[in-house]
Chain A
Amino acid sequence: MEQANAIVARLEERFPALVGGANIANERRIFWSVPLTSLMDILRYCNDELSFTQLCTITGLDNGEMFEFLYHISRDDGIVLTLKVKTPRDGGVVPSVVPIYNGAIFYELELEGLLGVEVEGLPDDRQYPLPDNWPKGQYPLRKDWKPNAETPPLPNP
């Protein structure tokens, strides 16, 4: 718990705007809603100063009103800090974290493929994980997307 409190204290000191937003679920899990504009700064600070060197994954979810993106970053002592940002459902853009966490390419491709959000600066245009001939504008992880028999058949590649 002390470790988690110390991390929260250091982050609040560096980013005063964040004060009070942290939710320490247990000694190794911290959830924190942060503004989208300061996401990159916080990630960079966490990576450089707080040794959160590993990006576990990025969860994208549609809560019906907004898209939420959860960046799960962890460090060697097992503490996982989850930073939550929100974007509007239409035309939401999140920055690519590949410059900080080089291994994030597939996680971000997945956000683009399944939620249809734009990841700015992603150095890759592969289709993942849906097939190359998947119809445009169909994003299965959106809450209003339902699999049904009327889904047009896939065109030939």
Chain B
Amino acid sequence: MAKMMIPLGPQHPALEEPESFSLLLDGERIAAATVALGYNHRGMEKACESRTYIQDIYLLERICGICSHSHSSSYVQAVEAIAGIEIPKRAAYLRTLIGELERVHSHLLWLGIAGHEIGFQTLFMFVWRDRELVMDLLERLTGNRVNYGMNTIGGVRRDIDSTQTEEVLKALDILEARTSYYIKVCTEEQSIIGRLAGVGKLPREDALRLGAVGPVLRASGVRRDMRKDDPYDAYSELDFNVITDDHADVLGRTVVRVFEIMESYKICRQVVRNMPDGPIAVKVPAKIPTGEAFSRYEAPRGEDIHYVRSNGTDRPERVKVRAPTLANLASITNMIEGGYLADVPIVIAAIDPCFSCTDRMIRVQDSRSGREDRYDWAGLRQYSIDWYKKRGVDLSQTKAAWKD
């Protein structure tokens, strides 16, 4: 059979966000792969320059719906470093708590997606059911399920009381029991191991050479975790392990993530138990003195980097964001090439991709007639009325449920 080029994306059931992979297929095997990105570029870095420091927190929080706390934390850390502010201890603990719950939610989400990618719907359904627990918990603590709005420059915006603490501990117990079961499933169930082991290999040297980060790097046997190496928030006072694995494949990445969830539970318990009393924020002037800062945060997907430069006004001169996925993308073609087409979705999913990137209008043009097929609401309604009229059903008198 001749080699053929198949597109995976920008719209494809395996991808949650638009990105495009072109795969040169030799039978069932991938001979070559290229990545095209930028379908989601929204110009946020530019937008940050025209907003105040406070407004930027909320903008940057919306880079990603899953690591929202990571991006805002990384950003406020940088701004606080420029302004020379020390945040209150209680604020540091609260940030840690939300950060770890976010990690649990992100990793559980990932595990469900992994199940879906390998055609294991049951795992997807179960894990996503239990993920609701941590989502509800986050909602109780912050008022929101995804974009928490917890961070502010100089601390956090909400405190938690003793009833909320109780709820956290209660939910953690259930989650821990469920997670231990998933760990058993992922490490013992043969049909899962059959699909994950040996797939998407990234040897240690390649991972380091290509600058992989987060669970992908740790699954290749490298102990690198910003919470240990470059501690922020309350991490220097907490006891936890950095999970590494030597499989250097998708199975390793799964193992690292599921065990990291367990470590997160451990961290959450310590945080709740040792939460110091005191204020949750300090006052920070709206104008930040001239300076620059580079901040790193261990997001669920890896190292999230923000660089902020200020110019003495209430708006930053430059905000640079490097999401962890961008670092991992350099190695993705290495992982795909030589593997099976069937493994491409799980290999892509295994870096836990998150593509934060310009909104643009899409035109659909008929390649033969050159006619543009783009419908607005009224046009689409008229089209459907005509379509049914041709078949003997008159719907033109039916009231539209929604007027534009």
List residues of A whose CB falls within 8 A of some B CB. 25-26, 28-29, 31, 53-57, 59, 61, 63, 70, 72, 74, 76-78, 80, 82, 101-107, 114, 126-131, 134, 140-141, 145, 147, 154, 156
Is B69 an interface residue when CB atoms closer than 8 A count as contact?
no
Which residues on the A side are within 8 Å of B292 (C-beta)?
31
**From B81, B226, B230, B305, contact of A72 by CB (8 A):** B305
Known contacts A29-B294, A57-B322; A72 and B307 CB within 8 A of each other: yes
User: Closest CB-CB distance, B339 to chain A, in whole Å?
Assistant: 20
Contact A147 B43 (CB under 8 A): yes
Contact B360 A131 (CB under 8 A): yes
**From A28, A54, A127, contact of B211 by CB (8 A):** A54
**From B43, B296, B317, B363, contact of A63 by CB (8 A):** B317
Contact B330 A103 (CB under 8 A): yes
Contact B294 A103 (CB under 8 A): no
Which residues on the B side are within 8 Å of A101 (C-beta)?
211
Contact with A along B346-366 (1 / 0, CB 8 A): 000000000001101101010
Closest to A64 in B: B317
**From B211, B305, B318, B329, contact of A102 by CB (8 A):** B211
Apart from A29-B81, A126-B34, A128-B38: 14 A-B pairs, beta carbons within 8 A: A25-B81, A25-B293, A28-B230, A54-B211, A57-B327, A61-B318, A103-B210, A106-B326, A107-B326, A127-B38, A130-B38, A130-B358, A131-B38, A134-B358
Known contacts A54-B211, A82-B294; A129 and B330 CB within 8 A of each other: no
Known contacts A129-B37, A129-B358, A141-B46; A59 and B307 CB within 8 A of each other: yes
Q: How many residues of B contact A (CB 8 A)?
A: 43
Is B269 an interface residue when CB atoms closer than 8 A count as contact?
no
User: Closest CB-CB distance, B295 to chain A, in whole Å?
Assistant: 9
User: Closest CB-CB distance, B56 to chain A, in whole Å?
Assistant: 16
Closest to B320 in A: A59
List residues of B whose CB falls within 8 A of some A CB. 34, 36-39, 41, 43, 45-46, 81, 208-212, 224, 226, 229-231, 292-294, 296, 303, 305, 307, 309, 317-318, 320, 322, 326-327, 329-331, 357-358, 360-361, 363, 365
User: Closest CB-CB distance, A23 to chain B, in whole Å?
Assistant: 9
Name the 8 nearest CB pairs between A and B, nearest first. Answer: A103-B211, A129-B38, A78-B230, A57-B322, A103-B330, A78-B229, A59-B320, A103-B210
